[in-house]
Amino acid sequence: MIRDAVIGDFNDELLELIDEAYAETPFTGLKYNRPHVQRWFANACTFKERFFCRVVEEEGRIVGLLIGFISDTVWGLPTSQTLVSYSRSGTDRLIRQFVQWSKEKKAAQVTVMTVPGKEKYEELVSKLGFFESGNAYTKEI
């Protein structure tokens, strides 16, 4: 099940998932600031007009998270982009929901970050119509 995240979801279980997601990034050797991550998560749960914040649950456990937001590029183009995208399952549905949310928010394009060495993820986003663009995948909507 995919649902809107709530501030109460920020617990040890979610931190474990965030640790896994972080280990998949190029920044894995650096220690991140958990209180800062918690503030971002709280903002994403609270300010739903600008943030997409959903979790994937299986048998009562959180196994996925996608946090994204809408911003304007330097060219004034409304763009929706991921901050965190990691899920042990339901990734396809999670990204589709993010794209749909982005359309509803009138974004002109959606950008999801690449996950180095994750061929299945890259194959999935390609099947969903994204194309490689530097260190991200982009899709016009």
Structure confidence at residue 128 (pLDDT)? 93
- What's this model's pTM, rounded to 2 decimal places? 0.87
76-89 pLDDT, tens per residue? Answer: 788 899 988 888 88
Structure confidence at residue 85 (pLDDT)? 85
Structure confidence at residue 54 (pLDDT)? 96
Structure confidence at residue 99 (pLDDT)? 96
Domain 2-140: CATH architecture, name and number where available:
3-Layer(aba) Sandwich (3.40)
Per-residue pLDDT of the chain (141 residues; tens, 9 = 90+): 999 999 999 998 888 888 888 877 777 778 888 888 899 899 999 999 899 999 999 999 999 999 999 988 767 788 899 988 888 888 899 999 999 999 999 999 999 987 666 788 888 999 999 998 887 889 998
Give, in degrees to the nearest 5, the angle at Cα 100 between 112 and 102: 60
